[in-house]
């Protein structure tokens, strides 16, 4: 099917980065001792578990910054604070892909995250006539990060739609995904939420009215009881006389 003004184009972040020339042959990377040591402390499935990716991160963000972030992050973990390394080591620490996570023929390259992401999504949207466009970092581990989205596209909603990774990984080679009728889906969702809001408001009004009626009945009963007691007192006083 052709792309319509109701659809959203989702592009893998590595594809955008490669198109911008942000990839580096591992044969040209000379890992230093800090890179060789630090990479050993990262999970094997992570992009920074190879000396080549760690070295390129140090080249980009600075060796001192990366090493300092690692030390602070390690201390933070001891006190229950996770993720400090990625907050302190620079944006590329979250976006870099090592050669094992990149599709052929770039499976021998380190790929950085893309640049000028807002310009890219707006350009894609306008050129194909779609409702919107996003750049996504998605994998088979139920992780779907939306790096950038054009106006009108809700990142959290797109993340949930892509959570099962329709892109595929490595040789599956589907770096561009079309989310059909997203605009209609969001309109339906907005209508459902509006209807739910009206329902809750009506329920709230009915509950307030019920409580007001109960309060009125209680006040009425109180007045009746006070009148009864006053009459009984009158009768008691008359009897005594």
**Is residue 230 predicted with pLDDT exceeding 90?**
no
For residues 160 and 158, what is the distance between their CA atoms, to the nearest angstrom?
Answer: 5
Whether the model clears a pTM of 0.85, i.e. scores above it, the answer is no
pLDDT of residue 100: 61
pLDDT at 166: 75
C-alpha distances out from residue 68 to 47, 58, 71, 75, 129, Å = 19, 11, 5, 11, 46
- For the cut 90, the answer to whether the pLDDT of residue 108 exceeds it is no
């Amino acid at each position: 099917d052709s792309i319509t003004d109701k659809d959203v184009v989702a592009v893998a972040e590595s594809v955008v980065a490669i198109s911008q020339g942000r990839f580096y042959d591992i044969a040209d990377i000379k890992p230093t001792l800090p890179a060789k040591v630090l990479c050993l402390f990262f999970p094997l499935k992570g992009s920074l578990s190879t000396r080549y990716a760690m070295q390129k991160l140090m080249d980009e963000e600075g060796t001192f910054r990366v090493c300092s972030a690692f030390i602070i992050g390690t201390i933070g973990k001891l006190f229950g604070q996770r993720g400090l390394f990625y907050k302190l080591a620079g944006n590329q620490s979250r976006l870099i892909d090592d050669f094992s996570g990149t599709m052929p023929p770039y499976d021998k390259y380190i790929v950085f995250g893309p640049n000028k992401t807002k310009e890219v999504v707006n350009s894609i949207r306008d050129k194909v006539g779609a409702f919107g466009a996003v750049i996504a970092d998605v994998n088979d581990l139920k992780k779907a990060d939306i790096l950038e989205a054009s106006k009108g596209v809700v990142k959290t909603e797109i993340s949930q739609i892509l959570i099962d990774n329709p892109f595929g990984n490595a040789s599956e080679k589907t770096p561009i995904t079309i989310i059909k009728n997203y605009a209609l889906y969001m309109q339906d969702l907005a209508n459902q939420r509006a209807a739910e809001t009206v329902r809750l408001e009506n329920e709230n009004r009915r509950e307030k009215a019920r409580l007001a009626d109960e309060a009125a009945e209680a006040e009425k009963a109180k007045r009746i009881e006070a009148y009864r007691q006053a009459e009984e007192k009158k009768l008691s006083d008359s009897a005594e006389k």
